[in-house]
Amino acid sequence: EAGVAQSPRYKIIEKRQSVAFWCNPISGHATLYWYQQILGQGPKLLIQFQNNGVVDDSQLPKDRFSAERLKGVDSTLKIQPAKLEDSAVYLCASSLGYRGFTEAFFGQGTRLTVV
């Protein structure tokens, strides 16, 4: 079974530039998550989709971050404009459902460095 695919693996940008990350979840998984993992910390949820609808985006900095999941499959996460504190690994995960606990499978992440 193919895992969660993310691209790019690494990205270096200057502050105030924009950047976008792409995620392809495991086939058949209705729920997709974006997590931010700052060095030395655990992942923090940014946004959760159920199919193409948003379930939880309470921790998404909406003034600069946006995410979409068209057609309920692939997803993109965008940052515009980037700040130094956005340097982190951005992890995409997917699971079969979202009611009750279902195992979330994580991709390898995109490491973003803002200089």
Partner 1 sequence: QQQVKQSPQSLIVQKGGISIINCAYENTAFDYFPWYQQFPGKGPALLIAIRPDVSEKKEGRFTISFNKSAKQFSLHIMDSQPGDSATYFCAASNPGYSTLTFGKGTMLLVSP
Residues that bind partner 1 (CB under 8 A): 4, 31, 33, 40-45, 48, 55-56, 91, 93, 95, 97-109
Q: What minimum distance in Å lies between the beta carbon of 79 and partner 1?
A: 19
C-beta closer to partner 1: residue 28 or 101: 101
Q: What minimum distance in Å lies between the beta carbon of 37 and partner 1?
A: 9
Q: Give the list of residues 6+ apart from residue 87 with CB closer than 8 angstroms, or none.
A: 38, 39, 112, 113, 114
C-beta closer to partner 1: residue 14 or 36: 36
C-beta closer to partner 1: residue 82 or 92: 92
Q: In a 3-state reduction of DSSP, which class is residue 52? A: coil
CB neighbour class for 33 (10 Å; exposed up to 12, middle 13-18, buried from 19): buried
Q: What minimum distance in Å lies between the beta carbon of 98 and partner 1?
A: 5
Alpha-carbon distance 64 to 66, whole Å? 7
Q: What minimum distance in Å lies between the beta carbon of 87 and partner 1?
A: 16
Q: What is the dihedral of CA 25, 87, 54, 32, to 10 degrees?
A: 20
C-beta closer to partner 1: residue 80 or 113: 113
